[in-house]
Amino acid sequence: MSRSVLVTGGNRGIGRAIVERFLAEGHKVCSADFGGEAPAGALGVNCNVTDAAQVDAAFAAAEAAHGPVEIVIANAGITKDGLIMRMTDEQWDAVIDVNLKGCFYTARRAVKSMMRNKYGRVVFMGSVVGLYGNAGQVNYSSTKAALIGMARSLTREVGKRGITFNVVAPGFIETEMTAVLPAEVTDGFKAQTPAGRMGSVDDIANAVAFLTSDGAGYISGAVIPVDGGLGMGH
Ligand code: NDP
């Protein structure tokens, strides 16, 4: 069945792979992003997720083109790393705004039409560091941990309406976000990862495709690690 899908931050990295995966499966996809170009075949909507009005407008555009949004991937996220003594208020606020407030705006708007339709699949893009922690990422890891509370509270609020909310927690994935890291950091992560390699964007798209499928309707409030074993036990 072809569904109406909206992916935030779908023009690059993990989000782009997710958009391409949904398109390949025959879904109608909107990429809500504020830079770059949406993959061919997707509806690209300029949207900064830190602005509720822009999030509303993106959903309205997706609905006009594809019908009520049934699958939402709250994927847009940024890092502004720094050790706590040197982390500025701006670094803290910027990451909270995109990674946490952006997901709140996205989920709030998503639930509105999903409640009416009594069907929905929402996936939040978390991270292994939400539970594992990571020096230099107090802001980032706090937002990723918070998404677990968000998914679980929403599951309790509207779980009876046929809507699921889950968190995918990627480990170390090859994208532009991680390309900027020095080789010793990358090598260190690889050494800690039982799979012995970085993940690919398709590894994440596979998990998202499963969680948003019709058959995954009894999975909600779950945290699905896709991290080669890096975060095991957390
Ligand atoms: P990228 O930086 O490669 O891509 C992020 C995308 O989100 C970009 O298209 C970016 O737009 C967009 N974006 C950023 N801010 C906003 C905003 N305010 N409004 C709308 N779109 C925005 O990141 P990744 O693909 O690596 O990461 C995707 C998600 O996965 C993030 O939530 C990240 O935290 C998470 N993650 C990534 C891991 C990794 O190893 N890569 C590991 C764990 C989690 P623009 O091009 O304009 O910057």
What pLDDT digit, counting tens, does each position of 80-99 carry?
Answer: 999 999 999 999 999 999 99
Whole-Å CA distances, 199 to 8, 149, 157, 173, 233: 21, 25, 33, 4, 19
**Catalytic residue selected from 105, 119, 132, 140:** 140
Domain of residue 20 covers 4-226
In this prediction, residue 125 carries a pLDDT of 98
Q: What is the mean pLDDT of residues 112-141?
A: 97
Asked if residue 232 belongs to a domain, the reply is no
In this prediction, residue 139 carries a pLDDT of 98
In this prediction, residue 176 carries a pLDDT of 86
Q: With a 6 A CB cut-off, is 227 part of the ligand 1 pocket?
A: no
ipTM, two decimals: 0.98
Asked if residue 50 belongs to a domain, the reply is yes
Which amino acid is it at 94? Answer: A
For 7-11, 24-28, 173-177, 205-209, which range has the lowest pLDDT when averaged over its residues? 173-177
In this prediction, residue 185 carries a pLDDT of 86
Asked if residue 71 belongs to a domain, the reply is yes
Which of the four pLDDT bands, split at 50, 70 and 90, describes residue 234? confident
In this prediction, residue 167 carries a pLDDT of 98
- The Å distance, Cα 99 to ligand 1 centre, comes to 9
Share of the chain above pLDDT 90, in %: 93
CATH number (domain holding residue 106): 3.40.50.720
Beta bridge partners of 11: none
In this prediction, residue 37 carries a pLDDT of 97
Asked if residue 130 belongs to a domain, the reply is yes
Number of domains comprising the chain: 1
In sign, the C-alpha dihedral spanning 156, 48, 123, 3 is positive
Q: With a 6 A CB cut-off, is 9 part of the ligand 1 pocket?
A: yes
Asked if residue 92 belongs to a domain, the reply is yes
Asked if residue 167 belongs to a domain, the reply is yes
Direct distance between the N- and C-terminal alpha carbons of the chain, in angstroms, rounded to an integer: 36
Asked if residue 152 belongs to a domain, the reply is yes
The secondary element (H helix, E strand) that includes residue 37 is none
Query: Would residue 140 show up in a list of annotated catalytic residues for this protein?
Result: yes
Distance CA 156, CA 167 (A): 15
- The Å distance, Cα 76 to ligand 1 centre, comes to 5
Q: What is the mean pLDDT of residues 5-17?
A: 98
Asked if residue 18 belongs to a domain, the reply is yes
- The Å distance, Cα 4 to ligand 1 centre, comes to 21
- The Å distance, Cα 218 to ligand 1 centre, comes to 28
Share of the chain above pLDDT 70, in %: 100
Token pair for residue 56?
């509303």
**At residue 179, does pLDDT exceed 90?**
no
Q: What is the mean pLDDT of residues 20-45?
A: 97
Distance CA 212, CA 79 (A): 26
Ligand 1: residue of 7, 8, 21, 34 to mutate (most ligand atoms within 8 A of CB) is 34
Token pair for residue 94?
């910027």
